[in-house]
Structure 1
Amino acid sequence: MPETPTQTIDRYFASIGWKPFAFQRTVWRSYRDGYSGLLHSATGTGKTLGVWMGPILKWLQENPDRSKWNPKRSPPVRVLWITPLRALAGDTEKSLRAPLDALGLPWTLESRTGDSKQSAKQRQLKKLPTALVTTPESLSLMLTHEKLLAQLSQLECVIVDEWHELLGTKRGIQTELALSRLRSLNPDLRIWGVSATLGNLAQACQALMGDTPADRVKVVEGHKNKKIKVESIIPEKMDRFPWSGHLGTKMVPQVVQLLESVQSALVFTNTRSQTEIWYQHLLKQKPEWAGQIAIHHGSLDMSVRRWVEDGLRAGKLRAVVCTSSLDLGVDFTAVDLVVQIGSPKGAARLLQRAGRSGHQPDATSRLVFVPTNAIELIELAAAQDAIRSGRLEARPMLDKPLDVLAQHVVTIAIGGGFTQDALLEEVRMAHAYQSLTDPEWQWVLDFVVRGGESLEAYPDYHRVEVVDERFQVTQRRTITNHRMNIGTIVADASMQVKYLKGKTLGSAEESFLSKLKPGNKFLFAGRLVELVRVKDNAAYVRRAKGKPDTVPRWMGARMPLSSELSDGLRRRIEQASEGTFVGREMKSLKPLLELQAEWSTLPRSDELLMEKVKTRGGHHVFLYPFEGRLVHEGLAALFAYRMSQRRTQTFSIGCNDHGIVLQSPTPIEVEQAVTAGVFATGDLVEEILKSMNSTEMAKRQFRQIARVAGLIHPGLPGRRKSAGHLQASSNLFFDVFCQYDPNNMLLEQSRREVLEQQLESSRMRLALQRIQASRILLNEPKRVTPLAFGLLVDKLRERVSSETLADRIRRMQADLELAAGKP
């Protein structure tokens, strides 16, 4: 008796030493019965096979007679697999190919991303493979080819991998719109998402499914509680006056000792600059590790990244120092330890990174945390609390960004055209655009057809034509420009970094490289290089010796402290105020926190601590909302603005993840300011815009929106425009719209994005509401307290001194320790 498809799958699992989990079988049954859904399971628990085997099982059931399988005549396209990173496409393809080869299926499996060869793309225009791995950008590009629509209408399933990474981003919105298009081509299309570490699962599912009826959608929970062991390296001597970055590389010897005890490890940092620095320090400590450790981040050339990934897979590398470039997808079963340098700023990110070790369903994931300042140990304790209680961060949702919609409308107009009512119905199938109004839709159509109110006189912005009520694009130049610049990823303009003779190392942002002079040395791709010249949008370098003059700084490196972690941080400090220190991290901080309580106080979670301190630098007011740097930046500017409105006074402000400092040469009347309503929520948005250089911030945000909406183009490959050129072009549009088209909806979108994304105004409002309901503690300690010290150091960085910063800080610490006495 021939084996059933289920027995065939079970045999495959047995051949790789596994047995299907109950959640995997649930997904397969749901798929067979025609459901769409979202699989939510911890990293490294078998999610890929959980969704991939659904289409395979269905095909086996439909084609039970193996004698009719013809490897020379593969089935037409059935499955589209969307990955968030093109760098993951190759690894994903390998993972999906393994069961196809083992089972002998006559399927073809290929990738289509920006890295794919042109010949492969041309071949796919004639016939798509049975299964195709692609990205949101490449899928949108496919929709511009009318000849592909007939094939895409045959799709049985779309699988969106790592949905939590796309959710709440414009790339996620781009994916939603593309899925709506595919559902309109085939109303029976199944859509399955794969996700881990999500706090708002229901919302995530709704965003992915659009208008799919709720009774045809399944949410399948896999292994939520994978075995994870989290520990931390506690400094031998804990400073009672910590400052940002003061530990960091001091912990290199302990990290080296840790790496010597394992076969392979990933060392995560939060920024690409930190990655370069840590790689150099590890090599300096262990020169014999040259060739055994490597560096990996998103600005390195693809060939470098692939070499590193292959080395990890083969078990040839002892450690890789990396950023979020290795957060996702790549299956390194050889990795048995993750080291996290500095606070991950969120419980979900900590969980995601921990899961990169022990990347098998039954293995224990092990993460070791290395603090860069003492207070981060409280953040780790709070993150562990959140993981234990399942309070992971929710991904914020975006609401109908019109720049993404304008781009999508041009995409569909190129790919065969549309009628406005039919496309509007399709667009509203996407969750992000369910509330799209008729006036907003008409504005978008007017914008792509004639450039809106202010650009009607310029033919370049008449991208879409209307012929017999059908919207389409016929101009070859418009089609080429759109295809070359499709997508929503907008980074600072970058230059390639190349050896004078030899390979490309990667890319660094133009804003950094443009400030360098020939002869300046900097760390890049784990090497010390010297700038020779800048020519043709490339920085040419050669190997150098000595010490670096600088380290590249990439934009987008600021990780905001999550609201869940902020809440946990305040609760942990409240426990300390009651004399309760639970866990190694909190016990190690006992001398610091007890000194804070002795010199000032430790606030409870329903209290706000404010400290007035006078130093040689002037009068200071320190506030500790514990809301994260982004919220604090907005609050600091708001407080300074409101206080200066009461009385003419000059402030300089500073902030970190834990608090805010206002500094003035004259006494600060903070008591009167509190009484007068400095923490009020009324007129919040208007006052935020007045208190910050909001027009300049909106202009920079508008550059991103103008790029996505198709107003400005970065140029063609090899002839990319400079960041300054793009900013000048977008500024011109911004000014023209402000003067002649003040109701332009892209202007309003730029202001909204500044408030929500750069200033987190919603969190600011919630923070103010919490503060208003809190008891205000106003203390006047005789000297700077442990919590205030880091803020004071950050202010000190701004001042030029003949002494080195480190020497000055050490002397300040010594004076304060002398005043504090022995712990």
Structure 2
Amino acid sequence: MTRDQLFNIAHTWFESRGWKAFPFQTQTWTAFLQGKNGLLNAPTGSGKTYALWAPVILDYIKKNPDYKKKHKPGLKAIWITPLRALSIEIKQAAERMADGLETGLTVGIRTGDTSSAERAKQKSKMPDLLITTPESMQLMLASKDYASVFKTCGAIIIDEWHELLGTKRGVQVELALSRLKTIAPNMRIWGISATIGNLQQAMEVLLGPHSSALDNATLIRAHINKKINVISAIPEKMDAYPWRGHMGLHLVNEVAEIIKKSRTTLIFCNTRSQCELWFQALLEKFPEFAGELAMHHGSIARETRQWVEQAIRDEQLKAVVCTSSLDLGVDFAPVETVVQVGGPKGVARFLQRAGRSGHRPGQDSTIYFLATHAIELVEASALRRAVADTVVEDRVPYLNSFDVLVQYLVTLAVSDGFYPDKIFNEVKQTFCYQGMTQDNWQFCLNFITRGSQSLQAYDEYKKVEIEEDGKFKVNSKTVALRHRMQIGTIVGDSVMSVKFFSGGYIGSIEEWFISKLNPGDVFIFAGRKLELVRVRNMEVLVRAASPSAKAMHASWMGGRLTLSSQMSELIREELYAANTTTMSRELKALAPMFSRQRKESIVPTDGQFLIETFKTREGFHTIFYPFEGRYVHEALASVMAYRISLLSPITFSLAYNDYGFELLSDQEIDMQMVLDNNLFTPTHLHADLQQSLNATEMARRKFRDIAVIAGLVFTGYPGKVVKTKHLQSSSQLIFEVFRDYEPQNLLFQQAYRETFEHQLEEGRLLLALERIQRQEIVWKQCEKPTPFSFPIITDRLREKLSSETLAERIKKMTASYMKGF
């Protein structure tokens, strides 16, 4: 069958549904049918699913001209998605076309939600097209005789590659692909990516930087002029706008108006706590929304989430308050409007969320941006420019993640066993392990067979045996069972199931939050007021509390996002523009704030770096404004405090947010001495970081995750999960053994490397210091706090005070500050 005949089949089917194929779709079909690998870059809601399901089905038709009469069984293609929630949508899309063309192809799902009966059925008869996740893919590699299942596979598609790149789940995918390339050498590898800056590198990571797969690859970009309308909600009276936000709840009326005007609305919050608060606030102020408003975040029970997804699809709901749990995929055709509460901290995330609105090819997207405080309007302006210029972040891939490699080697040993030389050559082809030495490899082999140098006296670490012919194999059923249960790279705090005492699952919550409560305490979770009855076997048993009961909101660790480097640069450029005549609508609205800032200090230009000092009853404040994001500021604040303390003995308390950081002391800093001694030098940064921060403590915490992934500690059986504090103490013990007896251990060293590279963003910190060195440092001695400093000061207070006390305190501070104007 010729390509024209095949395309004709696809076009006819598309037309029968009232669709027309986009040029990027036919380009992808052509490349796929030519046997090429590749990466497809297309925005959310543009039809990328059919860009790759269609050629998979057409390829089957091409190879089996008698396809309507005779079905040829066996796995034909695997579709890997990072989100289980997307698997049903992807399955429906594949079935729609496979059934519509009468191919007889079967479609199956294999994720953590798949029932054991369905898995058993798949074991005896694999579906033709399989949808799975990175973790379930690894589990399949841990099955006996996996090669016979995969050898017929002609294609593997990795969806949402931008979400996996720069994570250890992405490394898992790299390793799985390295194995599958050997088992099925004719298999085509395709990635689908939406918003990402480093597309060429993304393709290299997917296919392997020096592999033959990359030589036969193509990058296809969808040029779809999808219009994104970004509307900033600007209050009529800017004086009423707070200088720092507390979840943005003062904008509840604006959001209600948007909900009323639209058929369906998604309200995106950055954290689960903020999501819970907004849901409550909307219902309390607008009780008429009851039954039309729902909530969606990752900790709510799966059944509830699926109901919400279906209900908004069917337009039974008018609005959903959600987190990044709805950033991706789920095909909400009818969503008309998207609201972003507070800065999303990254352009890619913002574009992804905007794409939920008008999630159909050819439709415009509309997103309302609600700044929670005045300076966040600068972010709104920066985002609007980023959308217009399509500025998108790079995703930085991981290198030498030895914890993931150790897990992978045990996976291969659990199934059919492996010969080291063969696997070494495969692993070296991946991006992550391209620089791995023979010594590094030998360490990993010793680690899985002997438990490394310092643990070889303990049998529990000797998981893999070396057989006579040199094959590495796991022969213990207990080791195999434990390993299969712990496959994966997502390590979070221990989560506990929240259940009604009378029965019924509500969702999951982190152990650290529940540990602060006593029986009888009331908390708000999943939109309900719940009274804690007792905690039993990692289950939180609750009953419905009285509607009038005083309750605290559930909160989660790791809630705060930080600005991406591209976002930081855009915000700085917008701020510098405040000194020009070419100001955006948002910057013009901020004119009263800028004039107040100039009265006390300055609004810096691109050649200036601002430092402000002033005294309050709390002490002496020194505030620096790099505008680089909270993680960079956290590290920079510690380095500056350390460097100043070397010049004169002084103690600081530190505060930081996305815009700057504060050093607060009971004695005045000699600022001239700071400037004269060039304390912003990038020289000796690494050593100063190690001295100023408790790098060992941070590495120890990071090591817990590495220890879990590498299988050094066991997280427990279902229903008998090991508590976080026990995991922490077990991993700390091993960390200390490595530190004292085996400091060259690769996993121990990895903990430090990840702390500096990923947590403290050392590379970005270095670039920030180099930029500050080129700028003129402007030191302003102020009489009182400035509008720029206000969010940082109140952020520090927030850590100490309850929300009610904080609101009162901010009110007083604002009133006393405004007296001077």
TM category (shorter chain) comes to over 0.9
One-letter amino acid of the counterpart of residue 252, structure 2: V
Residue 357 (structure 2) aligns with: 357
* Superposition pairs of residues 140-539 of structure 1, within 5 angstroms: 140-210=138-208, 211-223=211-223, 225-239=225-239, 242-246=242-246, 248-467=248-467, 468-539=469-540
Q: Deviations over 1:387-439 (max 9, x none)?
A: 22222000111112000000001111112111111000011121111111111
Q: Deviations over 1:446-485 (max 9, x none)?
A: 1111000111011110011111211111111110000001
Q: Deviations over 1:55-91 (max 9, x none)?
A: 1111122223355234xxx531100000001122122
Shift of residue 6, structure 1, vs aligned partner: 1.6
Distance change (3 Å), C-alpha of 1:225 and 1:439: farther
One-letter amino acid of the counterpart of residue 345, structure 2: K
Distance change (3 Å), C-alpha of 1:698 and 1:57: same
CA contact (8 A) 1:242 1:790 kept: no
Shift of residue 241, structure 1, vs aligned partner: 8.2
One-letter amino acid of the counterpart of residue 308, structure 1: V
CA contact (8 A) 1:242 1:786 kept: no
CA contact (8 A) 1:461 1:711 kept: yes
SS in 2 for 1:577: coil
1: CA distance, partners of 2:113 / 2:807: 45
Distance change (3 Å), C-alpha of 1:460 and 1:220: same
Residue 554 (structure 2) aligns with: 552
Matched, 1:812 2:810: no
1: CA distance, partners of 2:77 / 2:651: 62
One-letter amino acid of the counterpart of residue 570, structure 2: G
Shift of residue 580, structure 1, vs aligned partner: 3.8
Shift of residue 800, structure 1, vs aligned partner: 5.7
CA contact (8 A) 1:164 1:195 kept: yes
Distance change (3 Å), C-alpha of 1:567 and 1:67: closer
Shift of residue 240, structure 1, vs aligned partner: 8.3
Distance change (3 Å), C-alpha of 1:816 and 1:244: closer
Shift of residue 799, structure 1, vs aligned partner: 4.8
SS in 1 for 2:181: helix
Distance change (3 Å), C-alpha of 1:40 and 1:798: closer
One-letter amino acid of the counterpart of residue 519, structure 2: P
Shift of residue 776, structure 1, vs aligned partner: 0.3
Matched, 1:651 2:649: no
One-letter amino acid of the counterpart of residue 116, structure 1: T
206-215 or 79-88, larger mean C-alpha shift: 206-215
Distance change (3 Å), C-alpha of 1:799 and 1:196: closer
* Superposition pairs of residues 753-772 of structure 1, within 5 angstroms: 753-772=754-773
Distance change (3 Å), C-alpha of 1:733 and 1:247: closer
2: CA distance, partners of 1:623 / 1:252: 33
1: CA distance, partners of 2:178 / 2:68: 38
CA contact (8 A) 1:679 1:772 kept: yes
CA contact (8 A) 2:99 2:105 kept: no
* Superposition pairs of residues 631-780 of structure 1, within 5 angstroms: 631-780=632-781
SS in 1 for 2:718: coil
Distance change (3 Å), C-alpha of 1:150 and 1:778: same
* Superposition pairs of residues 620-631 of structure 1, within 5 angstroms: 620-631=621-632
Shift of residue 555, structure 1, vs aligned partner: 2.0
Distance change (3 Å), C-alpha of 1:798 and 1:51: closer
Q: How many residues align?
A: 816
Distance change (3 Å), C-alpha of 1:245 and 1:432: same
Residue 108 (structure 1) aligns with: 106
Shift of residue 662, structure 1, vs aligned partner: 0.6
2: CA distance, partners of 1:285 / 1:114: 39
Distance change (3 Å), C-alpha of 1:484 and 1:247: closer
Distance change (3 Å), C-alpha of 1:556 and 1:95: farther
Q: Deviations over 1:164-217 (max 9, x none)?
A: 000000000001100111001112210011110011101101011112343310
Shift of residue 548, structure 1, vs aligned partner: 4.6
In structure 2, runs of 5+ residues without a counterpart are none
2: CA distance, partners of 1:458 / 1:374: 59
Q: Deviations over 1:354-409 (max 9, x none)?
A: 00111111111111111111111111211221222222000111112000000001
Q: Deviations over 1:311-365 (max 9, x none)?
A: 1121111011110101111101011111111101011111110001111111111
CA contact (8 A) 1:100 1:107 kept: yes
Shift of residue 148, structure 1, vs aligned partner: 2.5
Distance change (3 Å), C-alpha of 1:213 and 1:83: closer
Shift of residue 247, structure 1, vs aligned partner: 6.7
Q: Deviations over 1:560-600 (max 9, x none)?
A: 10111111111111111234422x21111111012212221
Residue 22 (structure 2) aligns with: 21
1: CA distance, partners of 2:179 / 2:143: 13
One-letter amino acid of the counterpart of residue 444, structure 2: V
CA contact (8 A) 1:577 1:597 kept: no
549-558 or 32-41, larger mean C-alpha shift: 549-558
Q: TM-score, normalised by structure 1?
A: 0.97
One-letter amino acid of the counterpart of residue 215, structure 2: D
1: CA distance, partners of 2:18 / 2:456: 65
2: CA distance, partners of 1:48 / 1:335: 19
CA contact (8 A) 2:228 2:387 kept: no
One-letter amino acid of the counterpart of residue 729, structure 2: A
2: CA distance, partners of 1:689 / 1:66: 65
2: CA distance, partners of 1:111 / 1:213: 27
Residue 94 (structure 1) aligns with: 92
Residue 563 (structure 1) aligns with: 565
CA contact (8 A) 2:68 2:104 kept: no
One-letter amino acid of the counterpart of residue 556, structure 1: G
SS in 1 for 2:74: coil
One-letter amino acid of the counterpart of residue 257, structure 2: Q
Residue 126 (structure 2) aligns with: 128
2: CA distance, partners of 1:332 / 1:67: 33
